[in-house]
Amino acid sequence: MRLLVLSLPTLWAVLGWALLLPLAWQSLRRVRAAPALPGAQQHLWLAGIVLMSWLWTLQARPVDGADFGLLGAALFALLFGPDWARIGLLLAVAAHTAVGPGSWANFGVAALALAVVPSSLASALQRQLELRLPRNLFVFIIGNGLFVTLATTAATSALLLALASLAQPAAASADAFSYALLLAWGEALASGMLFSALVIFGPHLVRTYRQELYLPPRRGA
């Protein structure tokens, strides 16, 4: 991920770590206070951490000065909720930094952009859908799997490009932002299909899914 290898100002690095640490500690406390993930969810969560850190190594450069790749953070947040997703994504960023050419000085800024922002935004949008739209399986799958992932991925991609362009003006352009939006749409379709499959064939793997809320038993059944 390009943000990890750019030469960021020292003030950015300090502010990134200063903002990240209390948010990470807050999520860690909530995770420790909550029930542990069941076996299958735990395996999927651990596999997701490894997959995210590997996925971010696959970068393309169709536009001069900008790297693009799949993020996967929105789907991870939809599957596990804000706190489990935030901790998992932070571990993925740490693994990606450790095995790649990334700088630990940039870790705070990169972790905020790749872990904190997408997990918080996806979970907030998911709550709004639950509050404002009918609670049924179709709305849960399409609303979250497609529209939440699209909005979260587009916003995260734009944030990454904005930070890169501020740190290094040649790192992004208007074409880069347009391409990021196109890639976000493709990722939303892929994530939506995977999310739909997990909800239908493995609902026990989706921590945010509640069958009694979205697929209640019929009266008299």
In a domain, 113, yes or no: yes
Distance CA 34, CA 81 (A): 12
Q: Are 19 and 111 in contact (CB under 8 A)?
A: no
Question: Residue 78's pLDDT is what?
Answer: 94
Residue 109 lies in a domain: yes
pLDDT attached to residue 147: 93
Output the pLDDT for position 3: 65
Residue 81: predicted pLDDT: 92
Structure tokens at 214: 């979205």
Structural domain contains residue 219: no
pLDDT tens for 52-86 read: 988 888 877 665 556 677 889 999 999 999 999 99
Q: Quick one: pLDDT at residue 167?
A: 72
Q: How many domains does the chain have?
A: 1
**Structural domain that includes position 37:** 2-214
CATH of residue 194's domain is: 1.10.1760.20
Distance (Å, whole) CA 164 – CA 158: 10
Note whether 36 and 42 are within 8 A (CB): yes
Residue 99 lies in a domain: yes
Model-level pTM?
A: 0.90
Instruction: Name residues of the chain where pLDDT drops below 70.
Output: 1-6, 61-67, 169-174, 218-221
Q: Measure Cα distances from 72 to 47, 55, 69, 88, 131 in Å.
A: 13, 8, 10, 12, 25
Contact indicator for 58, 91 with CB cutoff of 8 Å = no
The alpha helices in the chain, defined as continuous H runs, are: 2-5, 10-33, 39-55, 73-99, 107-111, 117-132, 137-139, 149-167, 174-201, 211-214
Whether residue 221 lies inside any domain: the answer is no
Residue 63 — φ and ψ, nearest 5°? Answer: -120, 135
In a domain, 220, yes or no: no
Check: CB of residue 87 under 8 Å from CB of residue 28: yes
What is the pLDDT, as a whole number, of residue 97?
87
Tally of CB atoms within 10 A around 112 = 22
CA distance 11 to 128: 35
**What is the predicted pLDDT for the residue at 134?**
87
